[in-house]
Chains A and B, each alone.
Chain A
Amino acid sequence: MFTQLFGSYLLNNKLISPEQLKEALEYQKTVHLKLGVLAVNSGFMSADQVNMVHNRQSTVDKKFGEIAIEMGFVDEEKLNILLSTQKSGHLLLGQAIVDKKFMTLNQFEEALNNYKKDHRLTNEQFKLIQNEDIDQIVDSLYNFGEFDGSKAYKDYFSLLVRNIIRFIDDDFKPMDIKPFTEYKADWLASQNISGPVSLYTGVSADEKAFISFAGKHARENYTSVDEYTKASVGEFLNLVNGLFLVNMSDLDIELELNPQVVEKNKNITGLNKAFCVPFEFSFGIVNFIIAKG
């Protein structure tokens, strides 16, 4: 997921073009992570230090790690961390961008630093995000504000994101959350959670995205909104909410679910602490709704 987040960041800040991002995403499937990119990413070395090692490599027949140790930029322990990270592959996008010369290593380093700064991330938090720690990603992306029950919103969205990745698609761009007092839904599947933590939850989209979302979940090729399409979106919501209830039950908080409802042209008003959380998929934008029940 970090690929999507960082890719979106580069696009939004016009650091690379949509065509370049697309090409890099394709290319990343074939690239091999280089220690220099990993060293910059981990903060063990600066881009300048990496370039110094590369220059040295052109004059002596030694590996990157050996030279970096000789030059005192990393020690054995850090080199071992880099070598193990090399196999994990979460930075392939960065490598692809540098290989394709869409950015230099220095520009890549600057973009990473700005990403951390813009999202107010410590190095530790950034590492967690790169390691696909969904809780940390949700925590850094979604600021619902501080109110009684706001933690439940974050817990809910961590679960939601995990299940979107599991059951729908991992290729999506999270977008900024929008608080609302009134929301007009083209299509909406909604479900109430009642009990000590009371929530209104929903999935909403225009017809095309609603059909595609339903098809992804059911692994079917739907072409119109029918009973199966509606059931598929409703069941996805029911699945996420059911798991939320199980998680809360493990904390000895017992909640109940109401049957989900699917409606067209629904106007939602009168909710408290209501937020629309859009996700941009390749097939369109799907809005997830959360409010106090």
Chain B
Amino acid sequence: MKILICDDSILIRKQLKEYLNDCGCTEIVEASDGQMSVDMYKKSKPDLVFMDIVMPVKGGIDAVTEILEFDKNAKVVMASSSGTKTHLKKALEAGAYEFIQKPFDENQIKNILANLNKEE
């Protein structure tokens, strides 16, 4: 499974990558802002995206909207420290697959991967 991690924090990208590696996912690409994630999605067509919301250049909500315009079957998990009602609503309206509140733990990541595998 190919996974794109988009977060402006190098630390979060590293932690998430470690969790995913532990789950057996080794094909991982990274982006540090929303625009980079859109470009990278188009280029590498990952099976799953983890997307932060508050980022420089382009925020996560705009990025997920663009990704879904490009590929309506894209699976994007919003992962944010600010899970406000507005953010949740906007993320779901934009077509996000799931929303997780930071700080996340390994089990949340495992569950998301398990659910995705079940669907497939």
Q: Tell me whether B54 and A254 are in contact (CB under 8 A).
A: no
Q: Tell me whether A257 and B54 are in contact (CB under 8 A).
A: yes
**A167 vs B56: C-alpha distance in the bound complex, in angstroms?**
25
Q: Tell me whether B81 and A239 are in contact (CB under 8 A).
A: yes
Contact size range, B: 10 to 19
Knowing A234-B9, A258-B54, A259-B56, the reply to whether A242 touches B14 (Cβ < 8 A) is no
* Binary flags per residue of B56-69, CB closer than 8 Å to A gives 1, else 0: 10000000000000
Pick from B22-30, B70-78, B83-91, B107-115 the stretch touching chain A: B83-91
A235 is an interface residue with CB less than 8 A from chain B: yes
Q: Tell me whether B11 and A235 are in contact (CB under 8 A).
A: yes
- Which B residues lie at the A interface, using CB under 8 A? 8-12, 14, 54-56, 80-86, 101-103
**Complex contacts, B103 vs chain A, CB 8 Å:** 167, 239
Identity of the chain B residue whose Cβ is nearest the Cβ of A231 in the assembled complex = B11
Knowing A218-B11, A228-B14, A239-B103, the reply to whether A254 touches B86 (Cβ < 8 A) is yes
* Binary flags per residue of A232-261, CB closer than 8 Å to B gives 1, else 0: 101100110111011011100011011100
- Give the size of the chain A interface in residues (CB under 8 angstroms): 23
Chain B interface mostly: loop
**A167 vs B11: C-alpha distance in the bound complex, in angstroms?**
15
Which of A167, A238, A239 has most B Cβ within 10 Å? A238
A227 is an interface residue with CB less than 8 A from chain B: yes
Identity of the chain A residue whose Cβ is nearest the Cβ of B80 in the assembled complex = A242
Knowing A235-B11, A235-B12, A259-B8, the reply to whether A246 touches B55 (Cβ < 8 A) is no
**Complex contacts, A254 vs chain B, CB 8 Å:** 84-86
* Binary flags per residue of A55-70, CB closer than 8 Å to B gives 1, else 0: 0000000000000000
**Complex contacts, A243 vs chain B, CB 8 Å:** 81
**Complex contacts, B56 vs chain A, CB 8 Å:** 259
Q: Tell me whether A238 and B54 are in contact (CB under 8 A).
A: yes
Q: Which of A228, A232, A246 contacts B84 (CB 8 A)?
A: A246
Q: Which of A228, A231, A242 contacts B82 (CB 8 A)?
A: A242
Q: Which of A228, A235, A249 contacts B85 (CB 8 A)?
A: A249
**Complex contacts, A238 vs chain B, CB 8 Å:** 9, 54, 81
**Complex contacts, B84 vs chain A, CB 8 Å:** 245-246, 248-249, 254-255
Q: Tell me whether B85 and A231 are in contact (CB under 8 A).
A: no
Identity of the chain B residue whose Cβ is nearest the Cβ of A244 in the assembled complex = B82
**A255 vs B103: C-alpha distance in the bound complex, in angstroms?**
19
**A292 vs B97: C-alpha distance in the bound complex, in angstroms?**
36
> What distance in Å separates the Cβ of A109 from its nearest Cβ neighbour in chain B?
42
Q: Tell me whether A246 and B9 are in contact (CB under 8 A).
A: no
